[in-house]
Amino acid sequence: MVSSTVHAGARLDRLPTSRFHRRILWLIGGGMFLDSFDIYLAGGVLGALTRSGWSSMQLNAAFLSSTFIGMLIGAFTAGILGDAKGRKFTYQFNLAIFGLASLAGAFAPNMTWLIVCRFFMGLGLGAEIVVGYGSIGEFIPPAVRGRWSAYLSLITNSALFFSTFLGYLVIPAVGWRSMFALVGVGAMVVWLLRKKMPESPRWLESKGRLDEADAILKSIEAETAEGRELPPIVEPVRAPLRTTTLGSLFRPPLLRRTVLAVTIQIAINVVIYGFIVWVPTFLMKQGHGVASSLGYSTLMSLGGPAGALIGVLIADRIGRKNGLIGIAVLAAIVGWLYGNSTSVGMATLLGFTLFTLTYLMVALGIATYIPELFATENRMRANGIAGSAGRLSGIVAPQLVVLMYVSGGIKDVLSMISGALVLMVAVLVIFGVETNRRSLEEIANVSDDESLRQPAAELPGN
């Protein structure tokens, strides 16, 4: 038997990044890439279905809303399961759900059945995002946690380009069904590869499963050391016992962090699902053909990986709070300019810029900041609550887009997006705390006072 604690956080945080960390990144990233691919194929598929008469703006909105009803349930359930049953069980379970549902969607006989299949895809899609972004930081040292979370965001949101580009090539030539088939087969392959991925030692320790945690930690340390001497373990101050019920997220001292996380999720999801997934449809409504619309959308979608790549470069330099504030202000300005653009070329450039800023916010906010705000015992539940709020905005946003587009065109749609970003800035200013380059245990144990608001001390890079 090991002692009453194995110091999982301290042992992981002092490790240099290694082959082990890269493997974890790609195993989590593979599922999240397919998750994102499945979400973003909606733009090209719905545009083609509308053009062919198989669907309509109203049915398209129902398709998107069913996605997010499923994602809402999936995100909430994943939060509960992730903290109760573990990270590994949960991400394997949700990957199987959205993979099998995607295969079923490829054979849907009509739009109604496709909407039903999309609901089940959404169950797995919502869960994958919660567990993937919540898990990566539990393995990565604090000095580079922002960078590696942004790497995961880069892998995930590169699917925006690949989904749009493949849609541009495949949908006009082969049809939309092949897009769902690709996701289903890919998900099953990643599910098999992930079977050997270890459970989070931090989670095992939080559940008192110390022997299992210690065994995994020793394996990680041996692989990382490769014969070298590792840095000494700096034992943290023992944390007090925490209340870990779901309700504790809605009471002080965690309430302000929950409000912060929920607002960030809502604002970013309004931008994504109120504008980005609608771009091909908007362009077709303005008279462009399927191929032309998907081509312009593909150019804009390069902003997805571009934004995440910028996140890799700056996440551990500028911090989370101030970075999100500055980026959101820029995105609101670019959104207004897009709504007032007078040419396709200018709209494409501004669209690319807005895509870039949006996925930079994803890298800093959803991938990095929100999971950092909470302790291991509550991390997945909090991530699930915030993710559920984002999915609620995904349910409402498509309906608002239809109403606003009919009444006032693209300008009214962009006004909604700018308003959501302004709200996020205000909440960050009032409630935001800085988590950059701090251990997850320190962030969880320190109250939201000036000591946590101050910049973190410099940590050695890895």
User: Which among 423, 128, 165, 452 is positioned nearest to 270, based on CA atoms?
Assistant: 423
Residue-wise pLDDT tens digits, 191-203: 999 888 999 999 9
Residue whose entry in the numeric block shows the structure tokens 């079923």: 104
Looking at residue 69, its pLDDT comes to 86
Residue-wise pLDDT tens digits, 396-415: 887 888 887 777 777 778 88
- On the question of pLDDT at 242 being above 60, the answer is no
Cα separation, 255 vs 140, in Å, equals: 26
What confidence tier does 186 reach under pLDDT thresholds 50, 70, 90? very high
As a whole number, mean pLDDT of residues 456-460 equals 44
Of the two residues 427 and 236, the one the predictor is more confident about is: 427
Looking at residue 145, its pLDDT comes to 95
As a whole number, mean pLDDT of residues 113-135 equals 90
As a whole number, mean pLDDT of residues 445-457 equals 50
- On the question of pLDDT at 162 being above 70, the answer is yes
- On the question of pLDDT at 120 being above 70, the answer is yes
Q: What is the per-residue burial (b if ≥16 Cβ within 10 Å, else e) of 434-444?
A: bbbbbbbbbbb
One-letter amino acid at 277 equals V
Mean pLDDT, the chain, whole residue set? 84
Residue-wise pLDDT tens digits, 9-63: 999 999 999 999 999 999 999 999 998 888 878 777 887 787 777 777 788 888 8
As a whole number, mean pLDDT of residues 213-227 equals 91
Q: How far is CA 274 from the centre of its chain?
A: 16
Cα separation, 364 vs 458, in Å, equals: 19
Residue-wise pLDDT tens digits, 315-348: 999 889 999 999 999 999 988 887 777 777 777 7
Helix axes 303-318, 321-339, angle to 10 degrees: 150
> Alpha carbon of 113 to those of 66, 227, 259, 420: distances in Å?
11, 57, 36, 33
Look at residue 199 and give its three-state secondary structure: coil
Residue-wise pLDDT tens digits, 66-95: 887 888 899 999 999 999 999 999 989 989
Tokens of 196: 């050997």
* Stated pTM of the model: 0.85
Domains of the chain (ranges; CATH) run 8-226+246-453 (1.20.1250.20)
DSSP annotation of 140 reads S
Residue whose entry in the numeric block shows the structure tokens 């962030």: 443
Tokens of 376: 């291991």
Look at residue 276 and give its three-state secondary structure: helix
